[in-house]
Structure 1
């Protein structure tokens, strides 16, 4: 009697069906783990910024950049806006800004940067 290597007789299909819960479980754990890690990092950064001293000091806009993500298929694209400021001690801070704030700055601008940790509050151009 010959066994059918298809669906009823085991073989490759049986191995795939028995591996499916393991693969699905692994992907599920990775997705949930990634969400948890990003959430913990976000809360940690938020808390760190709240505890940091709010500072106002002279700065120069060194560079601007954008990061576009999403936008495949029927989903819309989103854009994050970043500006790098150089402080008097030559250290640099890259901060995420809203689009309206980003649009008002140009590379080379100098003025007073108001920030708290990595949180941008304002930039008053000279």
Structure 2
């Protein structure tokens, strides 16, 4: 009898804890996204010669959403990875040379040399 009454008292506690964790995670994700967007908007727009060094994909989630990434190397030797669209991913090839335009962590464009 004691175990059953204790179990029913703990269920609302666990529901509250799970709700706080879910909403806390959601709030954290939204806050970090807004902060990154503010930092990007405050960053200068740069255009530099670059080369596509690597491409990769990442599949996440139960319903298989795919994220696309490309890594560029600039003249100084620094490498920068950007999340890109599937269309951009398909148009890029490793070794492509061109002008990379970006603002913070946001890729604006990559214009290949012809």
Displacement after TM superposition at 1:77 (Å): 2.3
1:52 aligns with: 43
Residue 74 of structure 2 is aligned to residue 83 of structure 1: no
Residue 28 of structure 2 is aligned to residue 37 of structure 1: yes
Q: Unpaired segments of 5 or more residues in structure 1?
A: 1-9
Distance in structure 1 (CA, Å) of the matches to 2:104 and 2:35: 12
Cα RMSD (Å) of the superposition? 1.1
Q: Could you say which structure has the higher helix fraction? A: 2
1:28 aligns with: 19
Aligned residue pair count: 113
1:95 aligns with: 82
Q: Please, which of 97, 105, 110 is the counterpart of residue 123 of structure 1?
A: 110
Distance in structure 1 (CA, Å) of the matches to 2:94 and 2:25: 35
Report the TM-score when normalising by structure 1: 0.85
Moved over 6 A (4+): none
Displacement after TM superposition at 1:78 (Å): 1.2
1:64 aligns with: 55
Report the TM-score when normalising by structure 2: 0.93
Displacement after TM superposition at 1:84 (Å): 0.8
Distance in structure 1 (CA, Å) of the matches to 2:104 and 2:8: 51
